[in-house]
Chain A
Amino acid sequence: MRNYIIRRLLLIPVVMLGVSFLTFLMFRVVVPGDAAILTCGFGCTPEVVEDIRHEKGLDRPWYQQYGDWLLGVVQGDLGESLTESELPVTTELDRRLPITAELLVLTLILAILLGIPPGVLSAVRPGTPLDWIARVGSVLWLSIPNFWLGILVITFGVVWFDWTPPQFGQGYVPFVEDPWVNMQQFFFPALVLSLGIAAAIMRLTRSSLLEVMRNDYIRTAWSKGLRERTVVIRHALKNALIPVTTIIGLQVGTLIGGAVLVESVFNLNGIGKYVLEAIIRRDFIAVQGIVLVFALTYVLANLVVDLLYGWLDPRIRYA
């Protein structure tokens, strides 16, 4: 197990290198636009653009720029934003990371709470109204784009209750500072973001549990006269959760993508909103840093999921 973890951890820098190189390449080759011209604005001339390129080091060979940036990353310096002068990317990330982290954690908690119990109920009571409600609900949540749902939440909040989330008028309030305001800031964005994931979890939990419930050892458990709760929770659910765990791990990527939109709609100044703005501004130094953080999160989340398999099913061994 330890060797497995070490091996996976050692692979992380290689993955990061690949991700950073692809991001760098994408902004230089594939995506149109140039940070120097954007900074320059409407009044610029080719000469001025060249001056700005020189000033920001964009006129050096690509490998030199990439190499310098990489050297900085190793030393914990992700560079300075190209368009927000003098603003180190790490400073912004430090400030924004707790916001996105809280959003993602709360979203995962809500997704699990809203996904697994209905999935279990739906599986143990197939064909009942409860099952139908859960299934229709899951289709509904999967179909609705989360940014649209976010706009609805805000609109109805205003129209019915004259209420908008506190972050529309003030900055981020940490949970330890004021839990009530913090929850007002995060509950609805997390709920909106979690519904789609909860629906996926619910459907998978249902199908996985239905399959497990048909196994011989479950029949044996029933024949032993065990209570339904014991059969379902102790014997069936744990096994049924293995594919669910996989899907939760994979959903971290979806979550990060969703956070970009939901943070914008709910004005949460997290990393998702930052990356969106940086892309619009062609601030590839900022984008490279953010993508690196996202990639790291994704890789670590998948590592955690892999380790969870072993806990859920002790038969699984890591080669």
Chain B
Amino acid sequence: MPESSYWNRFWRRRISRRALLSAGAVTAIGAATASVIGCNGNSGGGNGSPATNGATETTPGSGLSLTPVAGGSITQGRLINALGIDPHIDLTGLDIDMLMYTYLYSWRASDEEAILNNFVTEMELPDATHFNFTLRPGIKVWPAPYGGPAADEELTSTDCKESFIRRGTALTAPDKRYPQRFLPEKGGRLETPDTYTFNIVLTRPFIPALQDMANPTWAIMPAKAIDKYPTGFSQRAFGSGPFMMEEFRGSERIVLKKHPNYFLSPRPYLDEMKIIVITEGSSLLAAFRSGQHDISGAVLTKADADELMGDDNFVVDKFPSLFYPVIHLKVKRPPFADIRVREAIDLALDRDEFINVIWSGEGAYNGPIQWPQVKWNLPQDELRTFYRYDPERAKQLLAEAGLPDGFKSKMKLPKLPGAAVIGDMAVLIKDQLGRVGINIELDEVELGAFITSTILPGNFDMAFFPNLPYPEPDRPLSFYHSKGVTGTGNWTNYNNPDLDVLIDAQAEEFDVEKRRDIILQAQRMILPEHGPQLTLPGSFAYAARWKHVHVPTEVTGLGLELTTDAGPTGADIWVDKE
């Protein structure tokens, strides 16, 4: 492997991180001792003197360095129902799963680096197909009755193996590409040579694997619980993470309680976290503003955010959004089978107007990969040159394609409660295309039907919806692969064997520069195709909380991410509310 390879760089970073963590551990032990003393010295508990554990946070705007205080509780708003909380199966409760389960490690997308703050204490990557993990002893499943069949037992490598098999073979697993490389029946191996060693052997390299394993669907569950409830974690949880499940009503409220034996004691700092589900957007925001919620769960527009920013009671983070609006075209059906028609649509879209109207003037062009991924995407100048607004040329192309009077088509889009911006975007697209004679009828379909009867069966000529916020290049590119983003089929019928080769190659290329070249090459191959996805500009997103809530996150180029010295998700949240 060349010296400049991704893995060598990763390895060097890991050593450096290990040194950092060692120093941090010494501080943490001292701090934990001090915190115990502090608690003993204050029988009042939560409202006593701060637990001095050495961790500090600078509150935005205040410039003060504060020390976390143990105790208290917070309430967080949530816009969508959590239909289930099985991390391997249910996709609507993943944010809650992260607070309850142990994961191998956390991932910082902006640094492309693992934060070894969880189950893994060391990771070795001897070659492109081997991951060797040394696991942390002493991570315990919640005590009885919360921990179920494995209450108070230690997590081991067997739990990792069983969890990976369960995640990899779950019927509804969202992405099959990685599991197909490690599952035994596919020729891969999951090895447990001892209690605290977990090795993965892949059949073929897969670059996004490192990031995938830190995502919330890869929770480590106790093998005993998996045995006892082979399919049943949708309404129950037996975790080992910072918070225990006290109450779960996915369409109403979720109450989590501090895990008393958490390995990072005194974390979690909070005694309780309540998540209240309000599916009506304006009501959700109102609940936050009135102080019933400490952390907002609403989709904030720029206007909402500006208003909240003007109030000293709130902390508002503005960060680049990886969501990207996309028009999906069925490229095998007329008139979209004709590349001149697709080009005409591209030329008729005024992306600057889109930025001004939808994003209040703050936005950037998206190519096949979203604008915040500056390492992998095409430069803005190149995109702006390519995506020029030229309605006259668009009309000319339509005439050349035999459609001098334009044409009519239907564009399907999902109806999303609490996210009116989707409808606003669709109206603007309709207006812009109408200027060149393309009359679009908007067909707003309720989300359930949109997924089931529109997207999955590919039942559309044009469809509009934002793609999910993937923080790496593999997934956005997979939309253009003949096997699609799920690895099982492309719903736009797009098929370009040359592009497939490039997309497959980048997923296995570990040299960063070489991978980047392949990715840029792939994007430059995609642009002149004017489909199957026409990407529109993106912007920023906003997160708001009351100022008494302290969370260890920071704004990076790829969004709002955990700070490098933070514990697992939720463990470091604390409040200084009276």
Contact = CB atoms under 8 A, between A and B. Distances in A.
A25 to B, nearest CB: 17
A84 to B, nearest CB: 6
Give the bracket for the number of chain A residues in contact with chain B. Answer: 35 or more
Nearest to B86: A85
Contact of A155 (B235, B282, B292, B486): B282
Contacts of B276: 168-170, 267
Given A44-B456, A168-B290, A169-B276, A282 B448 contact: yes
A169 B453 contact: no
A135 interface: no
A73 interface: no
A34 B451 CA distance: 9
Interface in B435-492: 446-449, 451-453, 455-456, 485-486, 488-489
A265 B279 CA distance: 8
Contacts, number: 138
Contacts of A281: 83, 448
A168 B287 contact: yes
A277 B81 contact: yes
Given A40-B171, A266-B283, A33 B234 contact: no
B278 interface: yes
A119 to B, nearest CB: 33
Contacts of B173: 43
B290 A41 contact: no
B451 A267 contact: no
A155 to B, nearest CB: 6
B448 A171 contact: no
A37 B456 contact: yes
A177 interface: no
A226 interface: no
Contact of B252 (A44, A52, A85, A171): A171
A257 interface: no
Choose among A55, A162, A168, A280 the residue with the greatest number of B CB atoms under 10 Å from its CB.
Answer: A168
A40 B172 contact: yes
Interface string B242-269: 0000000111110000000000000000
Interface string B166-203: 00000111111000000000000000000000000000
A207 interface: no
A40 B83 CA distance: 13
Contact of B235 (A40, A84, A168): A84
A218 to B, nearest CB: 49
A173 interface: no
A43 B486 contact: yes
A317 B447 CA distance: 52
Choose among B84, B172, B283, B485 the residue with the greatest number of A CB atoms under 10 Å from its CB.
Answer: B283
Contacts of A170: 253, 276
Given A40-B171, A43-B172, A84-B83, A157 B286 contact: yes
A52 B456 CA distance: 15
Contacts of B86: 85
Contact of B174 (A42, A85, A151, A269): A42
B171 A51 contact: yes
Interface string A155-177: 10110001110101111000000
A26 B222 CA distance: 42
A85 to B, nearest CB: 4
A86 B252 CA distance: 17
A182 interface: no
A221 interface: no
Contacts of A301: none
Contacts of B253: 170-171
A35 B138 CA distance: 42
B289 interface: yes
Given A45-B489, A264-B279, A280-B447, A169 B452 contact: no
A224 B349 CA distance: 82
Contacts of A44: 171-172, 456, 486, 488
Contacts of A162: 289-291
A38 B174 contact: no
Interface of A: 31-34, 37-45, 48, 51-52, 55, 83-87, 151, 154-155, 157-158, 162-164, 166, 168-171, 264-267, 269, 273-274, 277, 280-282
Interface of B: 75, 81, 83-84, 86, 91, 171-176, 231-232, 234-235, 249-253, 274, 276-280, 282-283, 286-287, 289-293, 446-449, 451-453, 455-456, 485-486, 488-489
30 contacts: A32-B452, A32-B453, A38-B448, A38-B451, A43-B175, A44-B488, A84-B250, A85-B84, A85-B86, A85-B232, A86-B232, A151-B280, A158-B289, A162-B290, A162-B291, A166-B292, A168-B286, A168-B287, A168-B292, A169-B75, A170-B253, A171-B249, A264-B280, A265-B280, A267-B276, A267-B278, A267-B287, A277-B279, A280-B448, A282-B452
